[in-house]
Structure 1
Amino acid sequence: MTRKSARSQQERMVVVMGPTGAGKSKFIEYATGSNGNSVGHSWRSHTSDIQTVRAVHPTNGDSVVFVDTPGFDDTFKSDTEILTIVAEWLVGAKKGKVYVATILYLHRISDIRMSGSAMKNLRLFQSICGPNAMLNVAIVTTMWSKVGRKDGIDREEELRQEVWHDMVGDGCGIARFDDTPESAWRIVDNASQTQASANVLLSSEVVDTHLRLNETTVGITLNAELEKLIKDRKNAARKFKGYAKNGDNVLVKKELDEIETKIGEIAEQLQQMKIPFTRRIRLFFKSKGN
């Protein structure tokens, strides 16, 4: 009998990412039959925000661990908190030489258009992974039962051409999840085009280059997204102030209060992402080779 290679014997990690509500937990439940019950594992996060479920591959008997990550735009956590949670796990995996075989990014094909929130999620995901990890990445479209087949296929092709083209160009795959265990495992088996562990940019920047989270590519991307969000909210606030001046509209004033509260929350996140001046100077000279 042929002996398995060391790589094939090593436990495979399948990291499932994507926006809140894209169907990450459902995908894992179909693949593992877990019914939402996560199984403890040595690489489980110390928090309850990243869940892992170990399963046995249905055909070859290999051990596969699915990693369910929180999505950005979470109801209870800020984007900076979510990024910290995901970064902590990915960095820990790299330091522990964990075999991250595949990273799946789930997207609802039922969404008629790419909202600003969806685009932000995708940009953050790309910044986390980087182009060198794309051979281990697949975009998985979900919720096909909510759309007509032709409409879904047309939408998928439009996304491939107009939104996902850079990722696909770097080797990222595209797959359809049909809400069956067979579909889930077929996606897992076909997703990775390399036997090497995913070369995740965020992990390399923190572990190898010794950058802080706010100095990484995804940290800088999130900072830009937050600045844009504040600008948009301030513009909206100015409009609502104009409405309020023209009449004593209680609903307008309530909306204005909510916008200003949100601006304060985003500003607090921005403060957390700032790089101290002395650190920026050291990074500048390091980049110049001095």
Structure 2
Amino acid sequence: MFNHLCGESALEKVVLVTSKWGRDSERDFHKREGELKGKHWKTMMDGGARVERLVSGEEQASAWGIVRSILDRVETREIHQTHAARQLRAQLEQMIEAQTQMLASEADAVAGNEEAKTQLQEQEAKVRQIAQQIENLKVSLPKRLARWIKLVMGG
């Protein structure tokens, strides 16, 4: 169904994400992932789709890793980027770095480390500032849809 909706050319832009990795469970996630890849997602994967894992207990870090891998893949395709797109990518990278630093400081801040609390507050302010900058770069919905359709159609 997905192939019919989006077309074969869109498959190389598809990322299928599996979850629950890192959980203690009797369920064999490797076996299930193999089944998904070999049976249910085989056609999509043969067309260029790829699979990423969302790790339990590390959801934020693994989600950002998936986003980063998507951005890297788009960048390597040498798609013409507007000034706004380059700015958006730089700001997203800054946000990923700030989020990573926040995660590192959070445990120390909870434990009562005052310096860590100050660093955490600074990083939270930085994330809010970057989020506002990204908001300012937003393009109207019709323009975003046109760009997305062009990207999906291989243009």
TM-score by length of 1: 0.25
Bigger RCO (CA 8 Å, 6+ sep): 2
- Structure with greater strand percent: 1
TM-score by length of 2: 0.39
Which of these two proteins has the greater Rg computed from alpha carbons?
1
